[in-house]
Amino acid sequence: MSTQTLSRKRKLKKPRKASRFKHAKKVGLPPGTLVHVGEVKTEQPLVTVFDYKADAHSEQSLTVEQALTLTPPVHGIRWVNIYGLHDPTLIAKLGTNFGLHPLVLEDILNTSQRPKVDSFEHNLFIVTRCFQYHTTELDVTSDQVSIILGKNFVLTFQERPTGAFDPIRERLRTSGSSLRQSGTDYLVYSLLDMIVDRYFIVLEQLGDDCETLEDAVLHKPTTATLNSIHRLKRESMELRRSVWPLREVVNHLIRNEQGFFEPNTVIYLRDVYDHTLHFIESLEAIRDMLSGMMDIYLSSVSNRVNMELRALTVVAMLFMPATLIAGIFGMNFEIIPWFHHPHGFWFAITIMAVIALIMILIFWRRQWLTRPDA
Amino acid sequence: MSTQTLSRKRKLKKPRKASRFKHAKKVGLPPGTLVHVGEVKTEQPLVTVFDYKADAHSEQSLTVEQALTLTPPVHGIRWVNIYGLHDPTLIAKLGTNFGLHPLVLEDILNTSQRPKVDSFEHNLFIVTRCFQYHTTELDVTSDQVSIILGKNFVLTFQERPTGAFDPIRERLRTSGSSLRQSGTDYLVYSLLDMIVDRYFIVLEQLGDDCETLEDAVLHKPTTATLNSIHRLKRESMELRRSVWPLREVVNHLIRNEQGFFEPNTVIYLRDVYDHTLHFIESLEAIRDMLSGMMDIYLSSVSNRVNMELRALTVVAMLFMPATLIAGIFGMNFEIIPWFHHPHGFWFAITIMAVIALIMILIFWRRQWLTRPDA
Amino acid sequence: MSTQTLSRKRKLKKPRKASRFKHAKKVGLPPGTLVHVGEVKTEQPLVTVFDYKADAHSEQSLTVEQALTLTPPVHGIRWVNIYGLHDPTLIAKLGTNFGLHPLVLEDILNTSQRPKVDSFEHNLFIVTRCFQYHTTELDVTSDQVSIILGKNFVLTFQERPTGAFDPIRERLRTSGSSLRQSGTDYLVYSLLDMIVDRYFIVLEQLGDDCETLEDAVLHKPTTATLNSIHRLKRESMELRRSVWPLREVVNHLIRNEQGFFEPNTVIYLRDVYDHTLHFIESLEAIRDMLSGMMDIYLSSVSNRVNMELRALTVVAMLFMPATLIAGIFGMNFEIIPWFHHPHGFWFAITIMAVIALIMILIFWRRQWLTRPDA
Amino acid sequence: MSTQTLSRKRKLKKPRKASRFKHAKKVGLPPGTLVHVGEVKTEQPLVTVFDYKADAHSEQSLTVEQALTLTPPVHGIRWVNIYGLHDPTLIAKLGTNFGLHPLVLEDILNTSQRPKVDSFEHNLFIVTRCFQYHTTELDVTSDQVSIILGKNFVLTFQERPTGAFDPIRERLRTSGSSLRQSGTDYLVYSLLDMIVDRYFIVLEQLGDDCETLEDAVLHKPTTATLNSIHRLKRESMELRRSVWPLREVVNHLIRNEQGFFEPNTVIYLRDVYDHTLHFIESLEAIRDMLSGMMDIYLSSVSNRVNMELRALTVVAMLFMPATLIAGIFGMNFEIIPWFHHPHGFWFAITIMAVIALIMILIFWRRQWLTRPDA
Amino acid sequence: MSTQTLSRKRKLKKPRKASRFKHAKKVGLPPGTLVHVGEVKTEQPLVTVFDYKADAHSEQSLTVEQALTLTPPVHGIRWVNIYGLHDPTLIAKLGTNFGLHPLVLEDILNTSQRPKVDSFEHNLFIVTRCFQYHTTELDVTSDQVSIILGKNFVLTFQERPTGAFDPIRERLRTSGSSLRQSGTDYLVYSLLDMIVDRYFIVLEQLGDDCETLEDAVLHKPTTATLNSIHRLKRESMELRRSVWPLREVVNHLIRNEQGFFEPNTVIYLRDVYDHTLHFIESLEAIRDMLSGMMDIYLSSVSNRVNMELRALTVVAMLFMPATLIAGIFGMNFEIIPWFHHPHGFWFAITIMAVIALIMILIFWRRQWLTRPDA
């Protein structure tokens, strides 16, 4: 896929990131007021409930109305997943039923949070983000995923169905799996692990486009290449900025000061921490790569200026002497050398040709007729 | 709105920031001397008093004379708000009545403080700043807002009426609101929350102008664009520098070492902290964006140099050969080829045209006649 | 004041900073050897003594000989100030009388110290620096000010009389002032406060010159402007480097681990700390401003190259076609069109004029005849 | 070896680093699933076992089948080394036999780990990397080396046989060596020391190529040089990024919180720590060197533009006046000076020559005919 | 001394720093193997012994053979200084006699160590570096100086005799000196103080060359100037990198956790710490200065391009109109204005001259005939 195509497609798409710096909608409202801030990405909220214990499991899909009566389970573990966050009533009711702090509900609805963890007496509130990379637009978008870890329940809030947690559901359906044997903390770990694993898909796509651009910048740099480099750089920096706090979040979970996690699960969380670090470092490698490409682009522009200038100089040096000689023999004097000679005209032409040949020889030896640095 | 307009308007406005690095007015005076440092932004100081408890509230607007007798309330909570800081007598009297440290009074009057928190035995002194963004001048100005948190009173000092705290007054008037149920600490949290929320309005305006500039730099970059980029960059860096210490201030409040805040309010302060971090990160995103735009601008200048040079080369290559041929046939010899031929003149013209056509063909195939990187 | 004038004046002045990296004078001498390192800035050392208690005060001016017998006071507080540090004998004798460590004496005499604080059993040794900004030379020079805080005495050592401490003497003469009521720690705080306050005078002057330069760089940038920008940048960075450690010094005093300061004075020291931070941040704002100006300068140079190139291209495009036409009608053939026509000459001229007019029209529509980005 | 050769060879080689940002293979699998991630670098896994105590030692080479029954030794120390990690069954069986955590096995198989140390109750898991520098391709590749330190066994996992540990085997065969006298902790130290020592071989090769490039950039800079600089810069930054966490790993081992190391061995680990720091600093020196070379390259391009422009100017100044004179004497008037003079033609030629000579003289005195800065 | 001379001399010198990134010589040897790594800088190792107590002292110069029997003294303090480190036998024997750890001996012999301090039970091992600046080659070389502080002995190892410690010997010979009165810790402090003091000699020389370069870059910048700037920048960065860890070393000594230093000596060590900080800051000032010079150089190149271009434009504008006029009057028509006029030729010349004069007037008013920014 060529960068021109990329860039042309990009121009056609609708204005994006209109809401990049939007946050002002709620100014003036008291804290805890539940207002959805962000784009509505799904038509109808969808609630799925997964009840399980070591020897049994059941799944339900609920409408908003049915979901209003959901409570923590009497026995076993309940995982409630909500797709679509634009219905404050649903969120408020669930908050009351599951004993959540008003600020937690507010944060769930405000979908431009940075990753963070807040611990309360009975539950832990984790905000993370999922990313999608749109290769034709060189654009990274993100959804907020909020996770609440309670004693015997886990709530997850996503902006729209992405299928990200399907492999976990699959493992939950398998009776002997470690997920079924373990508590809610292990489920939360699995969700985090899944989210971070998916980061590497974005990384891979980003890396592929970087390499395409690198080829372009080495062989046929255009302004569109420059713009694409800038775009990718910006996106990778924004990605880094979004993931960076997650490092601290996972680290906080590992310190496990409130004891929400089993010691065994903490070992697994260290693994998530390593992946997060690895991801951040890879992003830095991409950023360095892009910076280098920028330098190569700029130096290639300078080289082109040089080449143009050389072409101009060569032309001037070839034609100016000849033009002067023609002018000399065009002077009006009574006595001009070779005037009467039958081959006088050709003598003059020969002189011009000889000078031009000498010039070309000089240029050739100085390698001025080839590219400056082939 | 075009950037030219922006920039032209900017030139017309009066010299601003005359006092940007002014601080020297007080040099040599003993500490605690009350002198107003800064611009006078309101004609007459205005004092509003809001007394409330869970089941009652009353509001008064006082003149400076009336305000001199204000004291902490006997019961309930008293919130005194002062607009206009250029009357040291008023501030001094209030300081005595409410038991404030002389340095606190000095800091209130010196309106170029950076955000900070100072704790005293009986009260807490918080300095923050409010920002206004003037889009036509690409200029951010700021007011100092000082807050004093006492056991049963809150004092706020602003440089002029901005209406920033009106929504809080509205909530105070509602009898069942959490503000009415809570103590002074929750009122101070609400004030801080309101101030930080308003930062995002500035951020949004700044972001909009950034995007306008980005369009300009991609499609029609001028020196005015460059100057606007520089201006916005400077303002965003100054904004960041002003807000950065607020992070530490809120963090200090969260640590709550003197116990001025209820545990429940601390949870809300964490929310303010998150917002502050979010704001700072968004500012960094804006700064990165502006840096990228600068690079694109500079590379577009280089590209234009290149294009000019190419135009010159093309012209020289088209006309120099033809001029030489004309010169050759203008030489004075007895015997010149085609001299007597009835179409000799046209033969020469034809040779010129053919050479020019070949040149144009070469240029066309090398894509030199189009923009260098369309 | 124009920047050219600035820069011309700068060239005339004598080579400064000859001793910028000089420190080697003392290499090989045992530690504690008292040698004056630095420029001699005053002819004759001058000693002033200020004795005071809450209800009395007396002042004396002593010669070097008289000063040799000075000792800590029997009762009350004694403040000894020495101007001029090139007399090691005086310093050594004072050191013995007041019980100072040999290294302290060495540091007092070596006037290129960075700000620091050293605590000893019976006294505290503080090194700070005073700055002067010379606007005609865009140059910041500095004096070392050493302060020793003892139980009932304060010693200050300055390189020359600057009048910096005169307001403090004035306040000491006022019987009811807080300085008279307090101990030596409050006097030391007042001295530090005075020193830091005076930094803002330098800052203001620096800021003024920055704004002059900004005007110059936007309207008429020259190489002299560039050099001035560089100079100011260097000076502001050096200033920052000199003041930066003062932050840590004041912070150390605030921690007050040896209890040299009363709790009440510590509150005042926090104020000095805030001022120091404010100063450092303002310097960073100046540095950012200067960096931005540098970028604008460089881009204005590129723009000028572009304008020159355009002028050349326009000239070439106007004259080359006309010259070719003249050449064509100058060819020697028997049959040349319009040769016999009475207005043939004017026909040719007309063709040239028309082509030139078309060219001008094209240039005008492309806005090539105006400045590239007016 | 010239840089052109380097660069040409580089173009021929197959696309490398295809898997640089690949990590996505495992997304969706439960943690602890053993899948080999990375390139298969050896055909058949190879297992070597080294049993030793102070007075005896024995070596064996096992096939995969034989290795499946390996267990910790009954007495003495057992060092098991595995080359080739693409057989999950073998790793899983060894994991069970030696009591390793599932995550450890997963990390061993995923060969793009960053250096880290994980401590478990009975063993310590260390991940490091070995580097190879391919000078013709200016490319650094790396293998993962995993080390497990148990009470009486050490396991090492490498991606392919490199002979890196041969000197350690040799020392183990020597009966009096300190390795034979010490425990498993000293063996692990020796392995780490060997790995870090080999880093300096890579550093030396990298440094050599840097110096070759520096010569090239000073004497004959081409675009290929620029690309090589960029490549080396990128590789050195990536190398630094890979080694940087090792610092923290070794530091963690030195803190020795679980007591896996004897106090005496910790002293040796400090030595490894010093080497790691030294390596990182040398890499930074190389990066600084490469940045400097980049600047010199860019400035040499600018200088070349300048030289071309000068050549053009010289040519124009030499020929334009002469051409004008020829044109003047070519004008058609009845009365032209020197028209009838027998040497008129030569007079005109002489004027041209004199003007050209004067020009050359001027150029020569301004040193325009030599290189701009020879 | 001109920079050209500097640069020419530099080209002549032999390839230096061949061993800059060499460290690989020892790879594969067991730890503690004594191999000398580095350049041999002295022919024959030389050992000097200095025994002293408060009331007596004696000096000896020993050959290698005699030195093999050296042991810690029975009473008093013994300072053994070794010049030349290429005899592992000597170092090994001394190590045994004075009870040094094998790793210490290894580090002494490996002369590319970074500054560090290692503490053992009975002694302290300090590695520092001495620097020499070679002004003709703009090159900083360094020697390693290792110091071992024992209870009653001090060992110092230098690569060659430099006379650096002569002033200390002189003071040791003086019976009443503080060195003679104090223990080994004070001697070690004196050695460190001497080493750091000598850094300022290098700093001064470096600063002098910087100022020479600054003059050159402001008045006559050449490529050689650029290369010198780069060279100095690199050397100052390498110097900084070598001295930076010394800061931490001295800080470690000040913390004095093992009690090797008397409280009184610690006060003196703080002085060394201050000097180290001062040195590092001065180096940063030099680096900033060099960066600024680089920017000025690059902008001067741009200015020169501009000047060339202006020269070309001026020439083109002067000659093109005149050439066109000559061409016009050279056209072949029957009727040409002024053809028969006796002064027709001179009329044409006059028109050319008038146009040229008008052009010159325009250039002069636009200040194009002077330097662009004089």
The whole-number pLDDT of residue C220 equals 82
pLDDT tens digit sequence for B33-64? 888 887 877 888 899 999 999 999 999 999 98
D339 compared with C368, residue with greater pLDDT: D339
DSSP state of C56: E
Six-digit token string for D191 = 């392995």
pLDDT tens digit sequence for C127-142? 999 999 998 888 999 9
> What's the rounded mean pLDDT across residues E106-118?
91
- Matching residue, tokens 């080479």: D61
The whole-number pLDDT of residue E223 equals 84
Res. C37: pLDDT tops 90: no
The whole-number pLDDT of residue D270 equals 93
Dihedral sign, Cα of residue A161, residue A163, residue A164, residue A166: positive
User: Are the C-beta atoms of C64 and C47 separated by less than 8 Å?
Assistant: yes
Res. B318: pLDDT tops 70: yes
First to last CA, chain D: 27
- Minimal Cα–Cα distance from D240 to chain E, Å? 15
The whole-number pLDDT of residue E368 equals 74
Side-chain-facing half-sphere of B196: CA atoms under 13 Å = 29
Confidence band for B300, pLDDT divided at 50, 70 and 90 = confident
Chain E residues touching C111 at Cβ < 8 A: none
Q: Is B123 helix (H, G, I), strand (E, B) or coil?
A: coil
Give me the interface pTM, i.e. the ipTM: 0.80
User: Are the C-beta atoms of A250 and A192 separated by less than 8 Å?
Assistant: yes
The whole-number pLDDT of residue A195 equals 95
The whole-number pLDDT of residue D185 equals 95
Partner residues linked to C49 by β-bridges? C60, C80
Q: How many Cβ atoms are within 10 Å of C194's Cβ, its own excluded? A: 21
Quote the percentage of chain C above a pLDDT of 90: 55
Instruction: Establish if D369 touches chain E: CB-CB under 8 angstroms.
Output: no
Confidence band for A19, pLDDT divided at 50, 70 and 90 = very low
Least Cα distance to B319 among C369, C318, A350, A331 occurs for C318
pLDDT tens digit sequence for E263-306? 999 999 999 999 999 999 999 989 988 988 888 888 888 888 88
Q: Is B141 helix (H, G, I), strand (E, B) or coil?
A: strand
- Cβ-defined contact of C323 to E320 (cutoff 8 Å): yes
The whole-number pLDDT of residue C4 equals 47
Confidence band for C222, pLDDT divided at 50, 70 and 90 = confident
Confidence band for D302, pLDDT divided at 50, 70 and 90 = confident
Res. C299: pLDDT tops 70: yes
- Cβ-defined contact of C167 to B28 (cutoff 8 Å): yes
- Cβ-defined contact of B348 to C328 (cutoff 8 Å): yes
The whole-number pLDDT of residue A302 equals 81
Six-digit token string for D77 = 């120390």
Q: Is A156 helix (H, G, I), strand (E, B) or coil?
A: strand
Res. E138: pLDDT tops 50: yes
The whole-number pLDDT of residue B15 equals 41
Res. A2: pLDDT tops 50: no
Measured CA to CA, the distance from residue D284 to residue D272 in angstroms comes to: 19
Res. B21: pLDDT tops 90: no
> What's the rounded mean pLDDT across residues B326-348?
89
Whole-number mean pLDDT of chain B? Answer: 87
pTM value is 0.83
Six-digit token string for A160 = 């729209």
The whole-number pLDDT of residue B177 equals 87
- Matching residue, tokens 């797709």: A83
The whole-number pLDDT of residue C221 equals 84
For residue C31, what are the CA distances in angstroms to A56, C101, E197?
Answer: 81, 11, 11
Q: Which of C255-269, D217-231, E173-187 has the lowest mean pLDDT?
A: D217-231
Partner residues linked to A143 by β-bridges? A130
- Cβ-defined contact of A348 to B332 (cutoff 8 Å): no
Res. A316: pLDDT tops 70: yes
Closest alpha carbon within chain A to D127: A274
Instruction: Establish if A10 touches chain B: CB-CB under 8 angstroms.
Output: no
The whole-number pLDDT of residue B25 equals 56
- Minimal Cα–Cα distance from A56 to chain D, Å? 20
Least Cα distance to A154 among A129, A183, A179 occurs for A183
User: Are the C-beta atoms of A50 and A78 separated by less than 8 Å?
Assistant: yes
Residue type, E187: L
Quote the percentage of chain B above a pLDDT of 70: 91
Q: Select from D222, D230, D234 the Cβ nearest to the Cβ of A373.
A: D222
The whole-number pLDDT of residue E118 equals 93
Q: How many Cβ atoms are within 10 Å of C147's Cβ, its own excluded? A: 21
Beta carbons within 8 Å of C121's beta carbon, 6+ residues apart: none
Residue type, D323: T
Measured CA to CA, the distance from residue E164 to residue C146 in angstroms comes to: 31
Least Cα distance to B103 among C263, C269, C179 occurs for C269
> What's the rounded mean pLDDT across residues A47-58?
94
The whole-number pLDDT of residue A41 equals 80
Instruction: Establish if D282 touches chain E: CB-CB under 8 angstroms.
Output: yes
- Minimal Cα–Cα distance from B108 to chain A, Å? 25
Chain C residues touching E300 at Cβ < 8 A: 223
Least Cα distance to E212 among E290, E126, E159, E283 occurs for E290
Q: Is A69 helix (H, G, I), strand (E, B) or coil?
A: coil
Tally of residues, chain B: 374
The whole-number pLDDT of residue B220 equals 82
Instruction: Establish if E335 touches chain D: CB-CB under 8 angstroms.
Output: no
Whole-number mean pLDDT of chain E? Answer: 87
Which residues between 116 and 135 in chain A have a beta carbon less than 8 angstroms from any beta carbon of chain D?
A: none
Six-digit token string for D374 = 């020879």
Least Cα distance to C374 among C309, C291, C307, C318 occurs for C307
Neighbours of chain A (3+ CB pairs under 8 A): B, D
The whole-number pLDDT of residue B247 equals 93
Closest alpha carbon within chain D to E315: D317
Measured CA to CA, the distance from residue E189 to residue E169 in angstroms comes to: 14
The whole-number pLDDT of residue D137 equals 86
User: Are the C-beta atoms of C235 and C140 separated by less than 8 Å?
Assistant: yes
D142 compared with B8, residue with greater pLDDT: D142
pLDDT tens digit sequence for D60-99? 999 988 999 999 999 999 999 999 988 899 999 999 999 9
Confidence band for D17, pLDDT divided at 50, 70 and 90 = very low
Instruction: Establish if D361 touches chain A: CB-CB under 8 angstroms.
Output: no
Closest alpha carbon within chain B to A317: B320
Which residues between 54 and 113 in chain A have a beta carbon less than 8 angstroms from any beta carbon of chain B?
A: 101, 103, 106-107, 112-113
DSSP state of D14: P
pLDDT tens digit sequence for C73-100? 999 999 999 999 888 999 999 999 999 9
Measured CA to CA, the distance from residue D27 to residue D35 in angstroms comes to: 11
User: Are the C-beta atoms of E190 and E116 separated by less than 8 Å?
Assistant: no
Partner residues linked to D50 by β-bridges? D59, D79
Q: Select from E20, E311, E352 the Cβ nearest to the Cβ of D313.
A: E311
Q: Is D80 helix (H, G, I), strand (E, B) or coil?
A: strand
DSSP state of B24: G
φ, ψ dihedrals at B102, nearest 5°: -55, -35
In a mutational test of the D interface, the residue from E101, E223, E244, E341 whose CB has the highest number of chain D CBs within 10 Å is E223
Least Cα distance to D111 among D74, D145, D62, D149 occurs for D145
- Minimal Cα–Cα distance from A173 to chain D, Å? 13
Res. C184: pLDDT tops 80: yes
Measured CA to CA, the distance from residue A132 to residue A123 in angstroms comes to: 29
Six-digit token string for A238 = 């924004």
The whole-number pLDDT of residue D156 equals 97
Six-digit token string for E368 = 């194009």
Res. A12: pLDDT tops 90: no
Measured CA to CA, the distance from residue D60 to residue D42 in angstroms comes to: 20
Res. B372: pLDDT tops 80: no
Beta carbons within 8 Å of D346's beta carbon, 6+ residues apart: none
Least Cα distance to C130 among C221, C195, C186, C197 occurs for C195
Six-digit token string for A251 = 């680290």
Res. A206: pLDDT tops 80: yes
CA angle A287, A291, A295 (to 5 degrees): 170
Beta strands, E only, chain B: 46-53, 56-62, 77-83, 116-119, 124-134, 139-149, 153-158
Per-residue HEC secondary structure of chain E comes to CCHHHHHHHHHHCCCCCCCCCCCHHHCCCCCCCCCCECCCCCCCCEEEEEEEECCEEEEEEECHHHHCCCCCCCCCEEEEEEECCCCHHHHHHHHHHHCCCHHHHHHHHECCCCCEEEECCCCEEEEEEEEEEEHHHCEEEEEEEEEEECCCEEEEEECCCCCCCHHHHHHHHCCCCHHHHCCHHHHHHHHHHHHHHHHHHHHHHHHHHHHHHHHHHHHCCCHHHHHHHHHHHHHHHHHHHHHHHHHHHHHHHHHCCCCCCCHHHHHHHHHHHHHHHHHHHHHHHHHHHHHHHHHHHHHHHHHHHHHHHHHHHHHHHHHHHHHHHHHHHCCCCCCCCCCCCCCHHHHHHHHHHHHHHHHHHHHHHCCCCCCCCC
The whole-number pLDDT of residue C12 equals 38
Query: How far out from the chain centre does Cα D60 lie?
Result: 35
Q: Is D220 helix (H, G, I), strand (E, B) or coil?
A: coil
**For the range A289-294, what are the long-range contacts, defined as Cβ-Cβ under 8 Å and sequence gap of 24 or more?**
A289/A210, A289/A214, A289/D234, A290/A210, A290/A213, A290/A229, A290/A232, A290/A233, A290/A236, A291/A233, A292/D230, A292/D233, A292/D234, A293/A213, A293/A214, A293/A217, A293/A229, A294/A226, A294/A229, A294/A230, A294/A233, A294/B295
Instruction: Establish if C308 touches chain B: CB-CB under 8 angstroms.
Output: no
Burial (CB count <10 Å: 0-12, 13-18, 19+), residue A317: buried
φ, ψ dihedrals at D60, nearest 5°: -140, 150
pLDDT tens digit sequence for E322-374? 999 999 999 988 888 888 888 889 999 999 999 999 989 988 887 776 654 43
Which residues between 246 and 275 in chain B have a beta carbon less than 8 angstroms from any beta carbon of chain A?
A: 267-268, 270-271, 274
Confidence band for B286, pLDDT divided at 50, 70 and 90 = very high
- Matching residue, tokens 């071989």: D201
Residue type, B205: Q
Confidence band for B18, pLDDT divided at 50, 70 and 90 = very low
For residue E319, what are the CA distances in angstroms to A317, B325, C274, E357?
Answer: 17, 20, 67, 11
